[in-house]
Chains A and B, each alone.
Chain A
Amino acid sequence: MNLKVLTMAECMAEGRQPEILFWVGSAGSYDDRAKKITKAFVKLLNAANIDFAVLGTEESCTGDAAKRAGNEFLFQMQAVTNIEVLNAYEVKKIVTACPHSFNTLKNEYPSLGGNYEVLHHTQYLQQLIQEGKLKITNNTFKGKRITFHDPCYLGRANEVYEAPRELLKELGVDLVEMKRHKRTALCCGAGGAQMFKEPEKGDKDVNVLRTEDALQTNPDIIATGCPYCNTMMTDGVKFKEKEADIQVLDVAELLANNQEL
């Protein structure tokens, strides 16, 4: 199936404003694993006939990792540049599959002049289902044991706990919670720019501990809502040599796979 993806520039050339901007993010654009999440989400948007666009080559890193590494200059340079582009296209509503982009766009861009309605893709997909635009017709995952790993920047940072869980319930899965979940969820170990460096010396890596949390629920699938969490949990599952039994999938991938998109 061909993906139908327009850029903001193309929409502008057609003289129209799309309903939403899909902020793909750096991981979603370049990381091989995360690209699958990006495509799954686009398939869902296409299936629901959503009028959306991406910035494409005009998108740049939100600056989240730079800011959390302490480089406020670089962050603000990124932010101001992105805001100029977003404002030039008169963007009102942004959806993103990356909780780090979500948090930054939603909370840190406003004081620099970027005011948008920002949704995480799980929130948006939940809306589409509620509005009847996206229909769950298959039951591929019915009864599968699935545990959801809360991304810090979606959960604790912005208190979005229910949207991804509601989507999983729509699929009729057997949702099993880890001992540490929602506000007590353990970090995957990638936040705060840790994704881009070796961890400090310790007894074990954070993603391994978090994977152990997940494995205790004896799941068929570990569901995530963040490209970084996805990488970390996938690595953790490999470390535990469980990759033959347990899949790590983004909620959007679960929905798209369910619909055989």
Chain B
Amino acid sequence: MNYLPNILFAIALVIGIGYFVRNVQKLIRNIKLGKDVDVSDNKSQRLRNMVNIALGQSKMARRPIAGFLHIIVYVGFVIINIEVLEIIIDGLFGTHRIFSGIGSLYGVLIGSFEILAVLVLVSVIVFWLRRNIIKLKRFWNSEMTSWPKNDANYILYFEMVLMSLFLIMNATDTSFQAMDSGNIISQYIAPWFSGFSENSLHLVERTAWWIHILGILVFLNYLYFSKHLHILLAFPNTYYASTKPKGQLDNLESVTKEVMLMMDPNADPFAAPEDTETDDVPEKFGARDVTDLNWTQLLSAYTCTECGRCTSSCPANLTGKKLSPRKIMMDTRDRLEEVGKNIDANKGEFKDDGKQLLGDYITKEELWACTTCNACVEECPISISPLSIIMDMRRYLVMEESAAPVELNNMMTNIENNGAPWPYNQMDRLNWKDE
């Protein structure tokens, strides 16, 4: 009977971690639905980007208030995990504060956790106020209703509760308070419980302890369904993000082959394509659905935190046009999730559901409003490029559907015929010299 808590704890741990692992596997499978892309170049630059941007939060600090608060929550999250380790050992083996054996260092550790817990609590409350009371514009765009809006608040509530439980747990732990080492904050909370009997005090402590660790397990599993996934994916996403100049778009290799063939004076125009080449011919040019995007773009969709820094710097969005780079990422994730569920429901195979990313999620109007100015890419704190998805979808519209706006078709016809976007004769190209 004495082992019951340990067994219950072990069961909770196995279920919590097991479900998380299952969802991570699903996540990886969904990301791999994307096309392959070579990201083996510039390894040292990629590592530096990950260390600076994800670990070092360098781009977060560009907006100082949010950046500062975010760093507190981030540091708090990372460091308090040491405490979680202790909780897990205690829970499994029925020990109590197993790390306290290390002496005064334990007090220093727990003391700093307590201070961080308070700082995190304050930061999270400020975040909540910014969203719900000050109503910063970027948190109230049209795509930030229902789930995205609730999700953001749930995360904040979770963190508020977890931090409070940690402090209450410490404050009601009589043996810990008796140590009088590391109870920097909790010593001031302890008197709130002064009227409690020893038994009920113990009950409060155990309850806080249990809800705290169960809360962490629930939160862990909440990640998959939430924008909070960024705490894990920011690292691979910054690593795999493009290391090229922002203005550089990839040159589609499949097109290069065709162009070279067209330009080759020795090519036989009637020759049938060689069998060996047929494998390389892509199904389509550009992207119509999530499976036409590459896996780093899909990874980015799961990584997006919906902070809206991209959208708040987008010239199209700032001038009231439909385009929101954040929505591009959210749509991509939503569609990818839908495709993933379809595959689950159909025993590992995708059954056509008559939907696609283009049209059903992202409209042409959004795609054509983009000026490719890279403001969204520059602003993203974790190196996401909504622009790359916009470009791939424009490519599909133009090369597969010939669905460019009329004026753009005229521009392209002019380039084709005259070597300029305007209908002027190429022979007049040097006229300026004598004008």
Residue ranges of A at the interface with B (Cβ–Cβ < 8 Å) = 3, 5, 7, 24, 26, 28-31, 35, 38-39, 54, 56-57, 59-61, 63, 65-81, 103, 106-108, 111-112, 152-153, 156-159, 183-184, 186-187, 189-206, 208-210
- B260: which A residues are within 8 A, CB to CB? 80
Interface centre among B252, B318, B433 (most CB of A within 10 A): B433
Contact residue range for chain B?
A: 35 or more
Contact with A along B155-191 (1 / 0, CB 8 A): 0000000000000000000000000000000000000
Instruction: Determine whether B427 belongs to the interface, using a CB cutoff of 8 Å to chain A.
Output: yes
How far is B404's CA from A72's CA once the two chains are assembled, in angstroms? 13
Say if the beta carbon of B6 comes within 8 Å of chain A.
no
- Which residue from B391, B420, B427, B429 sits with its C-beta under 8 Å from A70? B391
B399 with A72: CB separation less than 8 A = yes
Q: Which residues of A contact B365 (CB under 8 A)?
A: 200-201
The minimal Cβ–Cβ distance linking A208 to chain B, given in whole angstroms, is: 8
Q: Hey, which chain B residues are within 8 Å of A67, CB to CB?
A: 249
Which residues of chain B in 342-397 are interfacial with respect to chain A, using CB atoms and an 8 Å cutoff? 365, 368-375, 377-379, 391, 394-397
| Interface pair B321/A198, CB less than 8 Å apart | no
Question: A159 to B245, Cβ gap below 8 A?
Answer: yes
Please, which residue of chain B has its CB at the minimum distance from the CB of A68?
Answer: B372
B403 nearest CB neighbor, chain A only: A70
Who on chain A is nearest to B402 by CB?
A71
B321 and A186: CB pair below 8 A? no
CB B26 to nearest CB in A, in angstroms, measures 32
**CB neighbours of A203 from chain B (8 A):** 319-320
**Inter-chain contact B421/A26, CB cutoff 8 Å:** yes
Do B370 and A192 touch across chains, with their CB atoms under 8 A apart? yes
B91 interface hit (Cβ, 8 Å): no
B50 at the interface (CB under 8 A from A): no
- Across the interface, B316 reaches (CB within 8 A) one of A29, A81, A190, A200, namely A200
Contacts of A80 in B (CB 8 A): 259-260, 263
Contacts of B422 in A (CB 8 A): 26, 30-31
Chain B residue with minimal CB distance to A31? Answer: B422
Q: Chain B residue with minimal CB distance to A193?
A: B408
Instruction: Please name the residue on chain A nearest to B322 by beta carbon.
Output: A200
Encoded as 1 (CB less than 8 Å from any A CB) or 0, chain B from 231 to 273 comes to 0000000000000111111011001101110110000000000
A38 CA / B427 CA spacing, docked (Å): 17
Q: Which B residues are in CB contact (< 8 Å) with A195?
A: 421
- Interface contact A197-B428, CB-CB below 8 Å: no
Also in contact, A30 and B372, with CB within 8 A (given A70-B404, A107-B245, A184-B378): no
Report chain B residues within 8 Å CB of A70: 286, 391, 394-399, 404
Alpha-carbon distance between A26 and B431 when the two chains are bound, in angstroms: 12
Tell me the smallest distance from the CB of A44 to a CB of chain B, in Å. Answer: 15
- Nearest-neighbour CB distance to chain A for B307, whole angstroms, equals 16
Q: How far is the CB of B402 from chain A (nearest CB, A)?
A: 10
Query: What is the 8 Å Cβ interface bit string for chain B, positions 402-432, against chain A (1 contact, 0 not)?
Result: 0011011011100110011110101111111
**Measured between alpha carbons, how far is A19 from B323 in the docked complex, in Å?**
45
B435 within 8 A of A: yes
Asked whether, in the complex, the Cβ of A196 is within 8 Å of the Cβ of B248, the reply is no
B419 close to A54 (CB less than 8 A): no
* Known contacts A186-B315, A193-B408, A111 near B251 by CB under 8 Å: yes
Return A223 CB to nearest CB of chain B, in Å.
19
Contact B427 A200 (CB under 8 A): no
